Amino acid sequence: MTRPVTARVPAKVNVQLAVGGLRPDGFHDLANVFLAVGLYDEVTATPADSLRITVSGADADQVPPDRTNLAARAALALAGRHGVDPAVHLHIAKDIPVAGGMAGGSADAAGALLACDALWGTGSSREELLALCAELGSDVPFSLVGGAALGRGRGELLDPLATGAAFHWVFAVADGGLSTPAVYRECDRLREASGTGATVEDIADPEPSPALLEALRTGDPAALAAAVTNDLQPAALSLRPSLAETLRAGADAGALASLVSGSGPTCAFLAKDTEAAEAVAAGLAASGTCRAVRTASGPAPGATVLAD
Ligand code: C5P
């Protein structure tokens, strides 16, 4: 009997999410600066009679335990590539907020790939794994590599970025998720309504901010706070107006920067150090503007197989 394999995979926050116009294929070109943070899901792969998914954790009931789950699709894609029978039980221990804008589903896909590759001895190269990740979703390659990276294209073309220090974050978890496609659609709708148009012909190519990359490189939280941006934030706020109160509560509690994480609805708050992060977390918890508060720092390592 082969031993189970567990992969641990981090959440992410986008410190810059510059969104270009809508492409003919339905995606948007991005300048997407990812930072992996120390909130993790764990995916355990165990031999079984057939593909089976189970999920544990606070939001487990919101995760589909079937073949629509991105982790199941990852296992099927790897098995298909190598002609292996996808007879595996995948257990997902969730700690990353579900549908929260922190790449929880992408993390589970990257974890399933890594765990199944080790379980089945399929010995995929890093390049093969990255190509499979990109087929599964725009954020999945970053879940595999972690750290900090600039994502171009639809977010899947990654260049690693140097970071001079750990950055300390507080996350306000909202009640219920937001659908990523719905947030992108709302971004397009708001652009149309403002008269700019929403397609690649109308919107300038997204570019990374030199000031932001420099702040990451030097590890300066105040400089990073001054440079963070998220082009999806107006759309997330339009769909979930109550997030404005959450953002204000974090700012009132002393955060250096307050922003929606990715497509939301999780809100991210940058703090000077761990002590300041604890104070922001306490202020947010007392504000009653979110369901739960978490602290985590980044960059965190990408998907990793845990030793037994
Ligand atoms: O790549 P992924 O499957 O995660 O994307 C989910 C949806 O988010 C896409 O179908 C698309 O509607 C939207 N999206 C986008 N542009 C991107 C990434 C995602 O419009 N760069």
- Residue 204 sits in the same domain as residue 157: no
Per-residue tokens: 235: 């759309």
Query: Is the Cβ atom of 266 under 6 angstroms away from ligand 1?
Result: no
What pLDDT digit, counting tens, does each position of 28-64 carry?
A: 999 999 999 999 999 999 999 999 999 999 889 999 9
Is the CB of residue 267 less than 8 Å from the CB of residue 172?
A: yes
Stated pTM of the model: 0.97
Three-state SS for 235? helix
- Residue 280 sits in the same domain as residue 186: yes
| Burial class of residue 284 (count of CB atoms within 10 Å of its CB; 0-12, 13-18, 19+) | buried
| Confidence at 1, pLDDT banded by 50, 70, 90 | low
What value of ipTM does the predicted structure carry? 0.98
| Residue among 108, 117, 139, 231 flagged as catalytic | 139
Share of residues in the chain with pLDDT > 70 (%): 100
Integer distance in angstroms from the first to the last C-alpha of the chain? Answer: 15
- Residue 151 sits in the same domain as residue 172: no
Could you list the residue range(s) of the whole structural domain that residue 83 is in? 5-161+301-305
- Residue 95 sits in the same domain as residue 14: yes
- Residue 126 sits in the same domain as residue 240: no
The atom number, within ligand 1, closest to the CA of 181 reads 12
Instruction: Identify the pLDDT of residue 120.
Output: 97
What pLDDT digit, counting tens, does each position of 220-229 carry?
A: 999 999 999 9
* Residue 99 labelled as part of a binding site: yes
- Residue 38 sits in the same domain as residue 173: no
Tell me, what CATH number does 142's domain have?
3.30.230.10
- Residue 24 sits in the same domain as residue 148: yes
Report the domain count for the chain: 2
Per-residue tokens: 256: 């250096």
- Residue 206 sits in the same domain as residue 140: no
Instruction: Identify the pLDDT of residue 2.
Output: 81
Tell me, what CATH number does 285's domain have?
3.30.70.890
Catalytic annotation on 12?
yes
Catalytic annotation on 139?
yes
What pLDDT digit, counting tens, does each position of 253-289 carry?
A: 999 999 999 999 999 999 999 999 999 999 999 999 9
